[in-house]
Amino acid sequence: MAVTFLYCIGAAKAGTTWLARALRNHDQAALPPIKETHYFDSVENGSSIWALDQLIRVRSDVRAEMAASSDDKTRVRNTRRVQEIDRWLALVGAQRRNDAVYQKLMMRPVGPAHRVVADVTPAYALLKSDTYARMAALNEGRTRFLMILRDPVDRLWSNIAMTVTRRTEKGMPFDAARAAVLAEVTSSKNNPERARSDYVGTLDRLENAVPADQRMVLFFEDLFQSETLTKLSKFLGLDTPLEGPKERINAGTGLQMNSAERAQLADLLRPQYSNIQSRLGSLPQRWQDNLEESMVTS
């Protein structure tokens, strides 16, 4: 049976790592040696510096595991994984379009039993419609797109908290880092954390480029339910439902919003709530609670 390419295009901080684990553990699904290939965003942006940093970090982790292991099978497996990562590094580092090589690398982990091979790169949520159309046409059109939507305030705060933590680790005082990151997010539409919360923009570009039967939108808050996983598995052509790890993945820093911060972000993101509600119908309870918060501040 022909293999389908799955592009999970986000959202960031919305269960994509958990989904990648679930796919990697399924007998009929395969992934490259890295969760996020960053091929399409590197080509579109004309810069691969950030993407290469991500790939090199994964490579370094695998190399460290190799060095620490005394098991020959583990060392051989990780040696092969490093070799595969090097192939992706060469493609992404070239910063030019080479879809034929991308397809070839995507197919390398595919075996006779596999139905799906997935590229789970949340940065793809920021791609242009033309790029989505090009992605949809690859693999002779056997492609699927998945977008996971997490409550906009929760998702954005998760990004903010991560950035605050990184700045404090570099020596910036905590209170100053918290105030600075929040100000950056709320003052500029071009702020990267804020841009990743523009679900409406992503869905507009996706719908303009990809046929309805090739795309699916799910709520993060529903992702872990058996009904949702069964629906997703059928969309991907899998015979049995996906099952993910029981533990939370990349659970976050634990930094909590105060009421003023929550109200500020809810007001900022109010258009996202209303548009997604009109688009998809009823919202999860968590979304409804934060939508009410935005109405209180209006």
In terms of pLDDT, which residue wins out, 208 or 296?
208
Q: SS3 of 109, please?
A: coil
Residues 6+ apart with CB under 8 A from 47: 95
Nearest to 88, CA basis, from 126, 35, 147: 35
Q: Residue 250: its pLDDT value, please?
A: 56
In total, how many domains does the chain have?
1
Residue 64 covered by a domain: no
Confidence of residue 112 (pLDDT cuts 50, 70, 90): very high
Q: Residue 281: its pLDDT value, please?
A: 86
100, 138 Cβ separation under 8 angstroms: no
Residue 75 covered by a domain: no
Residue 49 covered by a domain: no
The answer to pTM > 0.95 is: no
Segment 223-256, tens digit of pLDDT: 999 999 999 999 999 999 998 776 655 555 578 8
How far is C-alpha 108 from the geometric centre of its chain's CA atoms?
22
Q: Residue 267: its pLDDT value, please?
A: 87
Q: What mean pLDDT do residues 10-27 have? A: 93
Residue 23 covered by a domain: yes
Residue 165 covered by a domain: yes
Residue 190 covered by a domain: yes
Out of 142-146, 170-174, 213-217, which region has the weakest mean confidence (pLDDT)? 170-174
28, 13 Cβ separation under 8 angstroms: no
Q: SS3 of 120, please?
A: strand
Out of 97-111, 220-234, 283-297, which region has the weakest mean confidence (pLDDT)? 283-297
Q: Residue 74: its pLDDT value, please?
A: 85
- At 3, which amino acid appears? V
Centre a 10 Å sphere on the Cβ of residue 64 and count the other Cβ atoms it contains.
11
Residue 100 covered by a domain: no
Nearest to 19, CA basis, from 248, 294, 239, 181: 248
Residue 99 covered by a domain: no
Alpha carbon distances (Å) from 59 to 83, 96, 122, 204, 239: 9, 22, 19, 35, 33
Encoding tokens for residue 272?
A: 């996202």
Out of 33-42, 94-103, 228-237, 243-252, which region has the weakest mean confidence (pLDDT)? 243-252
Segment 185-220, tens digit of pLDDT: 888 888 888 888 999 999 999 999 999 999 999 999
Q: SS3 of 144, please?
A: strand
Buried b (16+ CB within 10 A) or exposed e, 233-270: bebbbbeebbebeeeeeeeeeeeebeeebbbbbbbbbb
Q: Residue 293: its pLDDT value, please?
A: 67
CATH number of 183's domain? 3.40.50.300
46 pLDDT more than 60: yes
Q: What is the mean pLDDT of the chain?
A: 90
Segment 267-285, tens digit of pLDDT: 889 899 989 999 998 899 9
Which residues constitute the domain of residue 120?
4-31+109-297
Dmax of the chain from CA atoms?
62
Residues 6+ apart with CB under 8 A from 156: 185, 193, 194, 196, 197, 265, 269
Nearest to 215, CA basis, from 280, 136, 275: 136
Centre a 10 Å sphere on the Cβ of residue 89 and count the other Cβ atoms it contains.
18
